[in-house]
């Protein structure tokens, strides 16, 4: 529910790590009128960023050093975003932000996708794996007509999965009520010729439909297979 | 006891040899194969190549039925992350983490972890040696370690 930001105030964000991700993120968020402090450990890099952006507050220091973090005003931040290239550093920065400075929401870049599970288990609110996102996008491009994309639903850990029906899909010509989805999963929308269609049980699935499915299982491929093969 | 150790540096290798000689079932993890040279020929435990924060590597090291887990790489944050994965994801009964930075050690002790800060220990030992002139803290390395590193 809460995204850690009070809509009435100009939100304050602390970004840890001034690499490509941190730099462009900071620039983007400043354009959207967020108050941003960017933490970068390399002094030369920090100076370069300051020169590029002018208005941003860049502080030189380690995002996992308590004493330094205290100087960034982190305790009033609504969100801390750790996006260095080291997963263990991102984890510790977020845990300190939350555990010692009471930051309500932490977002961490996960460099090695295998660490997404650990980050979730260890209390990071939003672990973001660029590799997983890229893999999903690229896969959907090479998979062609039965492309699948998954979007995580925050409150339940479920996914919204977009499944395009190829001509041969076994469900084409059948009613929505005949789709054998696992209990708790649901077709929430049919996209037909670019327009959303309310998914009533009697709706007959057509060849070029896209089904948006709410799926509890993290197995996006499994949903795709169940619906198309 | 079944023990998994992450980091085969000076501390990790000594700990592995010591526990192995004491009859425990030891598995040690390190990213570099060459690190295992420190263990010598007399070591009877297991060695796993990989990073100790990776769940699949930890599984390969038998973490699922380990009694004790020790994180002793030279990276504080790496130790902290590996130890938390061991404790929270795999529910290892005893998890011990070496942390160099005293502030971070205190913080993670507050967070409920079993931590050891070598910096404060060594510093206080040197201070005692300096003020009293007696080196009570001196400890001979275990025989298995002396043998392996000869």
Task: Summarize pLDDT for B106-137 with one digit per residue, the tens.
Answer: 999 999 999 999 999 999 888 888 888 877 77
Cα distance between residue B117 and residue B115, in whole Å: 7
User: Which ipTM did the prediction report?
Assistant: 0.89
Contacts of A67 in chain B (CB under 8 A): 103
Separation of alpha carbons A187 and A175, rounded Å: 12
**How far is Cα A97 from Cα A91, in angstroms, rounded to an integer?**
10
Compute CA distances A118 → A11, A94, B79, B85, whole Å: 28, 13, 14, 6
pLDDT tens-digit profile, chain A (229 residues): 445 555 556 789 999 999 999 999 999 998 888 999 999 999 999 999 999 887 678 999 998 889 999 999 999 999 999 999 999 999 999 999 999 999 999 999 999 999 999 999 999 999 999 888 888 777 766 655 455 566 767 667 677 777 777 766 778 888 888 887 777 788 888 999 888 888 888 889 888 888 888 887 656 667 777 777 6
Instruction: Kindly report the length of chain B.
Output: 150
C-alpha dist (Å) from residue A117 to A88, A120, A124, B89 = 13, 5, 10, 9
Query: pLDDT over 90 for what percent of chain B?
Result: 80
3-state secondary structure of A5: coil
Q: Which of B54, B75, B110 minimises the CB distance to A114? A: B54
Phi, psi of B28 (to 5 degrees): -115, 140
Cross-sheet strand order for the sheet of A79-82: A57-60, A35-40, A12-16, A79-82, A105-109, A126-128
Contacts of B78 in chain A (CB under 8 A): 88
Strand stretches in chain A, DSSP E: 12-16, 35-40, 57-60, 79-82, 105-109, 126-128, 148-152, 159-164, 186-192, 195-197, 210-215
Per the structure block, which two tokens stand in for A191?
């996209």
Question: What interhelical angle do B118-132 and B102-110 show, nearest 10?
Answer: 120
Task: For tokens 């959907």, name the residue.
Answer: A140
* Spatial distance between the Cα atoms of A22 and A13, rounded to a whole number of angstroms: 12
All residues at 6 or more sequence positions from B1 whose CB lies less than 8 Å from its CB, including other chains: B19, B24, B25, B67, B68
- E strand or H helix at B116: strand B114-116
Cα–Cα dist B47/B37, whole Å: 11
CA distance A229 to chain B (A): 31
Q: Looking at the predicted structure, is the pLDDT value of residue B97 above 50?
A: yes
Q: Residues A169, A227: contact at Cβ < 8 Å?
A: yes
pLDDT of residue A143: 59
Assess A65–B contact: CB distance below 8 Å, yes or no.
yes
Which of A67, A68, A88, A116 to mutate: most B Cβ within 10 Å?
A88
Judge whether B112 is closer than 8 Å to chain A, CB to CB: no
Q: Pairing between strand B94-98 and A12-16?
A: unpaired
Query: In this predicted structure, what is the pLDDT of residue B33?
Result: 96
Q: Tokens 């599970």 belong to which residue?
A: A117
Inter-chain contact B77–A96, Cβ cutoff 8 Å? Answer: no
A74 touches chain B (CB under 8 A): no
Q: What pLDDT, on the 0 to 100 scale, is given for residue A111? A: 94
Rounded Cα gap, residues B144 and A25, in angstroms: 53
* A65, A88, A95 member nearest B78 (Cβ): A88
Q: What is the pTM of this model?
A: 0.78
C-alpha A136, offset from chain centre: 12
How large is the average pLDDT for residues B75-91? 97
Report whether B85 contacts B55 (CB < 8 A). Answer: yes
């Amino acid at each position: 529910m809460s995204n850690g930001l009070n809509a009435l105030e100009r939100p304050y964000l602390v970004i840890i790590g001034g690499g490509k991700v941190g730099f462009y993120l900071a620039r983007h968020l400043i354009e959207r009128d967020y108050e941003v402090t960017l933490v970068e450990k390399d002094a030369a890099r920090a100076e370069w960023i300051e020169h590029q952006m002018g208005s941003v507050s860049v502080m030189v220091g380690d995002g996992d050093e308590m004493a330094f973090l205290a100087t960034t005003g982190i305790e009033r931040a609504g969100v801390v975003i750790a996006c260095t290239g080291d997963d263990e550093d991102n984890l510790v920065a977020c845990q300190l932000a939350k555990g010692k400075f009471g930051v309500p929401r932490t977002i961490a870049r996960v460099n090695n996708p295998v660490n997404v599970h650990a980050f979730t288990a260890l209390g990071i609110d939003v672990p973001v794996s660029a590799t997983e996102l890229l893999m999903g996008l690229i896969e959907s491009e090479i998979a062609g007509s039965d492309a699948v994309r998954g979007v995580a639903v925050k409150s339940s850990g479920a996914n919204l999965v977009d499944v395009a029906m190829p001509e041969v899909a076994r469900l084409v010509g059948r009613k929505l009520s005949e789709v054998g989805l696992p209990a708790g999963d649901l077709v929430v929308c049919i996209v037909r010729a670019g327009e959303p269609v309310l998914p009533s049980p009697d709706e007959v699935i057509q060849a070029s439909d896209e089904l948006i499915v709410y799926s509890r299982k993290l197995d996006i491929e499994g949903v795709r297979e169940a619906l198309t093969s | 006891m079944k023990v998994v150790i992450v980091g085969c540096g000076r501390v990790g290798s000594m700990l592995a040899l010591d526990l192995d000689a004491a009859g425990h079932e030891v598995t040690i993890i390190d990213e570099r194969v060459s690190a295992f040279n420190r263990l010598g020929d007399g070591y009877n435990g297991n060695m796993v190549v990989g990073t100790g924060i990776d769940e699949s590597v930890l599984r390969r090291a038998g973490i699922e039925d380990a009694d004790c887990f020790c994180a002793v790489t030279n990276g504080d944050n790496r130790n902290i992350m590996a130890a938390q994965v061991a404790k929270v994801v795999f529910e290892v009964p005893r998890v011990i983490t070496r942390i160099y930075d005293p502030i971070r050690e205190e913080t993670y002790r507050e967070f409920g972890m079993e931590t050891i800060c070598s910096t404060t220990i060594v510093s206080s030992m040197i201070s005692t040696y300096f003020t009293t002139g007696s080196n009570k803290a001196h400890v001979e390395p275990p025989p298995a370690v002396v043998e392996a590193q000869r």
